[in-house]
Each structure stands twice: as structure tokens, then as C-alpha cells.
A and B are shown apart, each in its own frame.
Chain A
């Protein structure tokens, strides 16, 4: 018996919502970064689920390659993001995004 596509999608959507909520509500920059990672992973789930369930894509590696690229990008993003946060912390002595409002004059 095959797990239906909708289940995967529901899990992914839930995961995305959790990630979005985290990214929007956390005051800690690292928390936000983690939320973003969650959203990226939910997308990965979607990619693989669709790849598996679409007739045209069967016999190719498209979905997996896509997911691997996303994971790579997510890793790079996490590295850059963490570096930024550390740099910001060194200057501002805080990682609270409420205080990081220098974009507003």
C-alpha cells in the first residue's frame, strides 16, 4: 500500500507553518534561522513527494537532485546566516532582532 500524496503534503505544510511561525515570532536571530531551515526542509519534502507521485518524472533523478541542491543551499545559507549573526553580536552585543533596526533611519 502506498502512502497517499496528501499525507506528505500535509506534513510538509505543517512543517512549513511551524517554520514560518518560528521565523516570524522568534526574537532570537538564531531561532529565526532555524525557522527558515524548517521551511526549506518542508519544501524538500514536497519536492520529493511530487517527484515520487508524478508519472512523467518517474525514471529520472530530478526530484532527488533538486532536494540535494536545496540542502546544499540551505547549508550555505545557514553558514552565511550564522556568520552574520556572530558578526552582529560582536558589534551589538545582542542577537535580538528587535534591536536590529538600523535599516530604518
Chain B
């Protein structure tokens, strides 16, 4: 029974893939049918995924990563001396991802029907295509989490990258009057190219790994002998293969999970439709980077106290703090959430960097739920404000109205109560207020960091690093609470600052029900991971021995929990002081006056876009242009011209030497001979019977003579 279901694991990504194919090939014209096909595809994947999760839960002691997965082999590709085994596997980590991914996908799929205005006059002209793309995306994410090797993982990883590109640029025909504002088309390209940098680094890591161990299957790589071999052989002095490969593979996670320094694409990815932001850029694809590091965690800890963990911890902690500072000064409701996502992903990465593997996965799961909730809530708000704008400005397109700008909102809690309250629940979960989900998962990370600082870390993590991580993450928690509070007060509290906000209607039920369900998860999911009955630890941590060491167990630490609660509440309180006590009436941020130049600096995102533009993008474009000019003027053009001239000369010569005298001669000769002969023979055709008779008589006479002579 159990094995029967486990052997069907490969079907999970096929359901959405089938939906994609059916919509693209046949039902593109029929919007309702396309919607249902997408829903059914993801719904089947959800049912099967949860069945597998509960079965895996029942066998959790036998199915713990890294080496105890239930294998579902598919192909083996001969590669000369070895064979590349491809396939899927079921273990508890996969099970946890199968708990989160298909369910969140399903919620977002349902939400999309309302968001893309099904059944209204302004329904999106590419409505069915949207469902096809998100189905393909779901195939990518589900395939990624059940892969048992780096090759299929990379394939599905790239499928997601493609879908991300397509969906960010979904409204590719959109343009803005402000030339500095990034358009969806550019944002899609930016996301694709930026993540590509990480992907190439990751690919290099995988190839090096393959060159060393001749396999890319997780079970085999993460076995104790292989890891020992990788940790004790050196790529170059001071750099074991394990460290090098881990750092390179981490490069992929940095790109996909939008960590510093490749974080720039994620905020601009908000140009896509909001369900996409929720699905791809909050819940699933960006957490794939974290999943990758969690999955290859044994590789990261193979070398005791290696530099790779420090790199991971530093990048995670720095990103968490740095992006939350930027979120403070953003006015676009979705961009705030985008930087918040970057920051929360930084938490997970930092947790992995100090060995808090269980806490990272726990936070990944809870974050997916409450961040999807927040994004869908923001989408509902934007949708409402847009409708309000259309209602109040019939046919007038005098100025560009930005429905994403929080300065254009205010007082929406009265207008959109369901959206408002679910958004507030999501915000409480995000900021880590007891007892919402974020409190438990974030607290576990902080507690693990604090424990590592106090008692020395696992896997040779130094206590100094652990303290650094704890400090950064706690500061980030403060900022998270502040910018989330700011967002709530600007959007939902006070009075509407525009006509559009005054007339914003509540969204349709297909949008509010997913919000309510996700709000339920954001509230109660954390209770599965309380320090007293940590199901997550039991599932993926308890039996997992990595190099003989047990994974850290987040024990309840009243000091840490107290500090983080105080910090979060003070963030909320300051946000209330600035934005809540006296609701804004004019669209000027009071923070601008208080922070002065720092505010400008934060608003411009630490000028990272400009930095990359001036020092990376423009130089590479110029280099490409120079190479193009060099190639074109000095190499390719002369070569092509020379070939052209030679060809022309050759053909001239052939024409004079062969064509005219020989070919033409033969053809014309045949023609003229035939004509001459015809002229000649024509004379015999007189039309007079007597002439013919004469010829006959003469011929007979001649024959007679011939006979006589021969006889």
C-alpha cells in the first residue's frame, strides 16, 4: 500500500504538466475549461502529494534524509565508464515540501481566477495562457522536490526559471511613462539573467562533484564514505572538494533565492501578476534555493568548521538585515513584501549556515504559507483599488494611477474587511508574534543561533559567527515588524487618501476564500513545530545523522523568545507611533523627514541597481559592442567578403570557360542540327501522291537491285 503510493510519486509533476499541455494545445479558447483543467491538474497533485506525506510521516524513522529515501528510479543514462542514475525519491524532507507546494499552488490557482477577472468585461486577454504557465511552473516545483539527483533537480530548476521569466513578463506589452521605471519585459529579462549567473555557478559545482564521485544521486553523494572522500581530497591546498562544491552549489541558491549579491531581480519581479508573485516569488521557487541547500546540507557540513558554512551564514544574515532596511522605505505594497521575502529567505539561509537545518525547513514551510497569504492579500488590495479607480475615473486616462502605491490607499479595512483581517493575520505571522506560525519558526532559528553562541555550534560553527547571525537576525526582526506595521497602517488604517481607495470593493469569493484558508494555516501551522512537540524535528531531524552528529534541536529559550517578542512589539509600536497614531492625510512619508539622506539611500535600495548597471551591465554591453565591432569590421566581414569575391570570380571564370563554349554549345548545337535536318526532310513532304508513289517505286527497284546483286 505504502510502496504502491510511493511508486506513483513520478505522477505528481505530470498532472500539472498534462494540464499545461492540454490548455496550450486544445482548450486555449475556452477560459472556464482551461481554469478547471489547471485546477484539476494541481488538485490531483495535491491529493497524491498529501497521501505520500502522510504515508511518509508514518514511516518517518525509515525515510529520513539524507540517505534513507525511498527510491523511485526512472532512467539510467550510460556515460561511458559510469551510469548516470535519474529518478525520484520519497523521504521526509520531500514529504514536507509536498505538504506545502501543491496546497499553496492550489490556493493560488483558485485565487487567480478572480484576479485575472474571469467573467468580467476586463478579463485578461491571455487568461488561459496564464493558467498554462502556472501549471507548467507547478510541474517544475513538484518535480524539483521529488528529484533524487542533481540532474533532474537542475532540469526542473530551469523549468521554473523559464516560467518565472514568462510570468514576470506576462504583461509584456505594458509600458510606463516614467522611463526609469522597469517594465515587465525588462523585469523578466533581469530575473532570468540574474538567476542565470547563479545557475552557471551551480552547474560548475555539480560538474566538479560528478568529476569527483561519478554520481549525482543524493543518496550516494551523501553517504558517509563519499562525503569523507570529498572532505579529505583537495581541489587545491586548503580547499577540500566538499567545500568547493558546496560553495559553488550555494551560488545557485543565491541566485534562485535572491540572496545578496544576486537579490536585485526579485523586487523587480513584482511587475508580474500578483498570483505569480505569491506563487513563484514568495512561496515556492525562491524557496527552492533554500531547499537545495537543505537537501545538500550533508555536503555543507562534510568539512568540520569549513569556510562554506561561514559563507552561507554571512550571506543569509547580511541579506536578512540589509533587505529589511530597504523594505522600510518602499511605497509599492508588493515591493515591501518582495524585500521582506528576500529578508526571510536570508533567515533560512542563515539558519542553514549555523547548522539549524530543521529550523530552516520549518521556517521555509511556515513562510510559504504566510507570505503567499500576504501577497495574495496585497493582490486583492491592488485589485480593489484598481476597480475603485476605474469606477471613479470613467474613461479618463489623464495621469498614470499607480494602484500598487500605498500612499494611494488608506482606510481599506472598512472597505475590504476579509482581505484586511487576513492580511493582518499574515502580518502577525511574519513579524513573529505569539502564537502565530512565524513566531515558532523564527524563534527556533534565533534559539538555535543563541544556543550555538552559548554552547558552541554543531558542525564546527564558531560561537562568534553564531552570535553575529543572532544579532543580525534579531535586528532584522525589529525592522520586519516596523515595515510590516508601516504597511498595515498605511494600507488599512486611517482614512482613504484617494477616490480610488474610497471606492475599492471587496474581492470576489474565489479570491477571499484562499485568503481565509491560508490565514488558518498561518495561524495554526506553527503549533506543529513548538519546542515541546516539534513534529518537524521528529520528521526530518530526529533520525538524521550527518557525519555521526545529531542535528540541533531547537529547545525553548525564554530569553531568546522574550527578546524577539520585545523587539517585534517595539517594531510594531514605532510603526504605530509614526503611521498609526496620526493617520496620514497627504502622501508624504514622515520617515523621509526624520531619516533624511538615509531615507533616500534606502529608497534607492542602496543603489545596487545603479551599481550593477554602471559597473557590470554597461561594461559588459560595451565589451560586447567592442567585440562585435572588432569581429564585424576586422574578422567576419572581411572573411565573408573574401569568400563572396572569390565565389564571384570563380563563377565568372566558369561561365567563360565552361558554360558558354561547352554547355551552351551542346544545347544550341542539338537544337540547330535538329532544325537543319527538319528543313532538309521537309522537302520530301510534298503532299503529292505521285511523288510518294515514285519514291516507293524507286525504293522497290533499289531493293530489287540489291537482291539481285547479293544473289
Interface range, B side: under 10
Q: Which residues of A contact B693 (CB under 8 A)?
A: 23-24
Residues in chain A within 8 A of chain B (CB atoms):
20, 23-24, 32, 97-98, 100-105
User: Does residue B586 face the partner (Cβ distance < 8 Å to A)?
Assistant: no
Choose one: B685, B686, B687, B690; the contact of A24 (CB below 8 Å): B690
Closest B residue to A35 by beta carbon equals B693
User: Does residue B697 face the partner (Cβ distance < 8 Å to A)?
Assistant: yes
User: Does residue B689 face the partner (Cβ distance < 8 Å to A)?
Assistant: yes
Complex contact A104–B689 (CB within 8 A): no
Shortest Cβ distance from residue A33 to the other chain B in the assembled complex, whole angstroms: 12
Most chain B CB within 10 A, of A97, A98, A103, is at A103
Closest B residue to A105 by beta carbon equals B687
Residues in chain B within 8 A of chain A (CB atoms):
685-690, 693-694, 697
Complex contact A100–B689 (CB within 8 A): yes
Shortest Cβ distance from residue A82 to the other chain B in the assembled complex, whole angstroms: 16
19 residue pairs bridging A and B, Cβ less than 8 Å apart: A20-B697, A23-B690, A23-B693, A24-B690, A24-B693, A24-B694, A24-B697, A32-B690, A97-B688, A97-B689, A97-B690, A98-B688, A100-B688, A101-B686, A101-B687, A102-B687, A103-B687, A104-B688, A105-B687
| Distance, CA A98 to CA B689, complexed state (A) | 9
Complex contact B690–A104 (CB within 8 A): no
Q: Which residues of B contact A101 (CB under 8 A)?
A: 686-688
Complex contact A104–B685 (CB within 8 A): yes
Closest A residue to B691 by beta carbon equals A24
Shortest Cβ distance from residue B502 to the other chain A in the assembled complex, whole angstroms: 99
Shortest Cβ distance from residue B182 to the other chain A in the assembled complex, whole angstroms: 84
Closest A residue to B685 by beta carbon equals A104
Across the A-B interface, the 9 shortest Cβ-Cβ residue pairs:
A104-B687, A101-B687, A103-B687, A101-B688, A24-B694, A24-B690, A97-B690, A104-B685, A20-B697
| Distance, CA A103 to CA B684, complexed state (A) | 13
Closest A residue to B682 by beta carbon equals A104
Shortest Cβ distance from residue A81 to the other chain B in the assembled complex, whole angstroms: 12
| Distance, CA A31 to CA B689, complexed state (A) | 14
Closest B residue to A101 by beta carbon equals B687
Q: Which residues of A contact B685 (CB under 8 A)?
A: 104
| Distance, CA A102 to CA B685, complexed state (A) | 12
Closest B residue to A102 by beta carbon equals B687
| Distance, CA A100 to CA B697, complexed state (A) | 21
Q: Which residues of A contact B689 (CB under 8 A)?
A: 97, 100, 103
| Distance, CA A23 to CA B697, complexed state (A) | 11
Complex contact A104–B697 (CB within 8 A): no
Closest B residue to A23 by beta carbon equals B693
Q: Which residues of B contact A105 (CB under 8 A)?
A: 687
Shortest Cβ distance from residue A32 to the other chain B in the assembled complex, whole angstroms: 7
Q: A32-B690, A100-B688 are in contact. List 17 more A-B contacts (CB 8 A).
A: A20-B697, A23-B690, A23-B693, A24-B690, A24-B693, A97-B688, A98-B688, A100-B689, A101-B686, A101-B687, A101-B688, A102-B687, A104-B685, A104-B686, A104-B687, A104-B688, A105-B687
Shortest Cβ distance from residue A61 to the other chain B in the assembled complex, whole angstroms: 29
Q: Which residues of B contact A100 (CB under 8 A)?
A: 688-689
Q: Which residues of B contact A98 (CB under 8 A)?
A: 688
| Distance, CA A13 to CA B694, complexed state (A) | 17
| Distance, CA A101 to CA B688, complexed state (A) | 5
Q: Which residues of A contact B690 (CB under 8 A)?
A: 23-24, 32, 97
Q: Which residues of A contact B688 (CB under 8 A)?
A: 97-98, 100-101, 104
| Distance, CA A32 to CA B688, complexed state (A) | 13
| Distance, CA A104 to CA B682, complexed state (A) | 10
Shortest Cβ distance from residue A57 to the other chain B in the assembled complex, whole angstroms: 23
Shortest Cβ distance from residue A29 to the other chain B in the assembled complex, whole angstroms: 9
| Distance, CA A23 to CA B688, complexed state (A) | 13
Q: Which residues of A contact B694 (CB under 8 A)?
A: 24
| Distance, CA A78 to CA B690, complexed state (A) | 17
Q: Which residues of A contact B686 (CB under 8 A)?
A: 101, 104
Most chain A CB within 10 A, of B690, B693, B697, is at B690
| Distance, CA A97 to CA B687, complexed state (A) | 10
| Distance, CA A105 to CA B693, complexed state (A) | 19
Q: Which residues of B contact A20 (CB under 8 A)?
A: 697
Shortest Cβ distance from residue B355 to the other chain A in the assembled complex, whole angstroms: 108
| Distance, CA A24 to CA B685, complexed state (A) | 17
| Distance, CA A100 to CA B691, complexed state (A) | 12
Q: Which residues of B contact A24 (CB under 8 A)?
A: 690, 693-694, 697
Q: Which residues of B contact A104 (CB under 8 A)?
A: 685-688
Q: Which residues of B contact A102 (CB under 8 A)?
A: 687
| Distance, CA A55 to CA B686, complexed state (A) | 47
Closest B residue to A99 by beta carbon equals B688
| Distance, CA A105 to CA B686, complexed state (A) | 9
Q: Which residues of B contact A32 (CB under 8 A)?
A: 690
Shortest Cβ distance from residue A53 to the other chain B in the assembled complex, whole angstroms: 21
| Distance, CA A98 to CA B687, complexed state (A) | 10
Closest B residue to A20 by beta carbon equals B697
| Distance, CA A4 to CA B689, complexed state (A) | 37
| Distance, CA A15 to CA B68, complexed state (A) | 124
Shortest Cβ distance from residue B703 to the other chain A in the assembled complex, whole angstroms: 15
| Distance, CA A104 to CA B693, complexed state (A) | 15
Shortest Cβ distance from residue B705 to the other chain A in the assembled complex, whole angstroms: 15
Shortest Cβ distance from residue A77 to the other chain B in the assembled complex, whole angstroms: 15
| Distance, CA A95 to CA B697, complexed state (A) | 23
| Distance, CA A68 to CA B690, complexed state (A) | 28
Shortest Cβ distance from residue A102 to the other chain B in the assembled complex, whole angstroms: 7
Shortest Cβ distance from residue A28 to the other chain B in the assembled complex, whole angstroms: 11
Shortest Cβ distance from residue A72 to the other chain B in the assembled complex, whole angstroms: 23
Closest A residue to B694 by beta carbon equals A24
